[in-house]
Structure 1
Amino acid sequence: MTYLQKIQRLYHLEPNDHSGFADAELAALEQQLGTALPVPLKNYYTALGKQEQVNHSYNRLLPPGKEMDFSADGYLVFYEENQAVCCWGIQKEDLAQDNPPVWGNYGTETAPDWHQEAGTTEDFFLLMAVYNGTMGGLPYNANCLGTVDPAMVRFIEARYTLVPAISWERQRVYTDDFYEVLSLSFAEAGHCNALFAGTSDAQRFGRLLDAIDVEWSYIADEE
């Protein structure tokens, strides 16, 4: 599956139901910026750019227009954290690459602190779809904001498949073929201190809640 197909499956979106921006809007953005955009970036905007649950349920995809611009230190910023604490972008010199890496600025505009967030643009969009989904974008989501027993972590590792491209030592994403996803956070000491889960399928969600034995802090369908 492509990354777009994985997102469409996770959110139960029809493959031919394009909820994106028009090609002309992306062409106007390229003219505004004075540079061509990477194909994966344009493809995402035209396929899913206006999909609210995927792109605006927590962190926010910036629309093509005045909000989308280069930072003072040369990053094309196109995604923003929900409280504007950090933002994500592509280095100007990388825009000519086929599928450039995406960086996150965890500093400020005047004192930037950029770290690579994803090895490719496509991986970044998949990561944000998972992140936004488990934080409320998916209709069935839950989180445990507390210590997860090591035995339960081992259970998840055995039952679900790790997604290496969007995982790292402190944040690991697992999936059941992108019908449901789990994101585990780890402290520096190595123990799991948070778990986020999400799916678009009510029956799968029920089975997930039965199987994952943790003290859930929030369960969406309980509201």
Structure 2
Amino acid sequence: MGRRFYFAAELTILGTVKSKPMDYLNKIRKLFALEQDGIDGYSELEIQKLEEKINFVFPKTLRTYYQTLGANSNINYCYNRLLSPEDDVTLLDGYLPIYEENQAVVTWGIKTTDLSLDNPPVYANYDTAYDSDWELEKAHVSDFLLMMAIYNGTFGGLRYYANCLHTIPSTMVTAVESGWELIPELSVDNQKIFTRDYTDVISLSFDGNGVCQGAFVGTMDPQLFDNILEVLDVDWSYISFEDEDEDED
């Protein structure tokens, strides 16, 4: 009897310590300082019209995204672009394009044969004049949409952001690695993304030798932004404060 009580107490303690992890939608909401149950999506009619254009029904996860956050311009349209209901849609090589790089150099899509899956993989097409080459980008569309929200955030979607397009000293990379948490499901060898509980983000680019050759950062919190700039004390290629200075002038 005593052992059963002890085991139950362990469960109670564990239950108070562990909290339910945020899903990708609430991670995006938290990063962009949106209400956790906030809706900024497309209407059911708009989504149906888009599905009629492609003659397919969206996967469950992608459809939910369109309904909840798909219409938010800062998250989806400030740099790379989510497929919108107003776009003309053409299937490419058996893939449904869902996202386009800001200079149309890369298209991301889902295999039409995977559209019946709830949370299908996403592939990137680095198309050339001679070849159409699709490569796996993320194993789940939920991870891909979170990654795109972060990328767009560091290129203007977040209130405070900065980009550095040259070598970052290894000591500063180490400081980021120790002060921020790596997001493993979004990171690869040449691009590693870090966060502090989705209140800010730091994305570091690496060359083939493991040398950091770029940093892209963003947050909605000015104090957190100042902290990032203190840790990454580099010659920034662009910093959002510059726009504020121009507005004041």
Q: TM-score range by the shorter chain?
A: over 0.9
Mean CA deviation greater in 119-128 or 25-34? 25-34
Pairing 1:17–2:13 present:
no
Counting only pairs closer than 5 Å after superposition, residues 21-60 of structure 1 correspond to structure 2 as: 21-60=42-81
> What CA deviation, in whole Å up to 9, does each residue of 1:47-92 have, x standing for no partner?
1111011111110111135523411x11000111111111110001
CA distance in 2, matches of 1:7, 1:192: 26
Tell me which amino acid in the other structure corresponds to 2:169.
D
Given that 1:119 and 1:165 are in contact with CA atoms closer than 8 Å, whether structure 2 keeps it comes out as no
CA distance in 1, matches of 2:89, 2:69: 17
CA distance in 2, matches of 1:75, 1:92: 5
User: What is the TM-score of this pair, normalised by structure 2?
Assistant: 0.85
Higher relative contact order (CA 8 A, sep 6+): 1
Counting only pairs closer than 5 Å after superposition, residues 1-223 of structure 1 correspond to structure 2 as: 1-64=22-85, 66-71=87-92, 73-108=93-128, 111-223=131-243
Name segments (4+ residues, structure 1) moved above 6 Å. Answer: none
Given that 2:200 and 2:220 are in contact with CA atoms closer than 8 Å, whether structure 1 keeps it comes out as yes
RMSD: 1.5
Given that 1:75 and 1:92 are in contact with CA atoms closer than 8 Å, whether structure 2 keeps it comes out as yes
Deviation at 1:15, TM superposition (A): 2.9
Tell me which amino acid in the other structure corresponds to 2:44.
D
Q: Kindly indicate which of the two structures has a greater share of residues assigned to helix.
A: 2
CA distance in 2, matches of 1:210, 1:152: 10
List gaps (5 residues or longer) in structure 1.
none
CA distance in 1, matches of 2:234, 2:53: 50
Q: Secondary structure at the match of 1:104?
A: strand
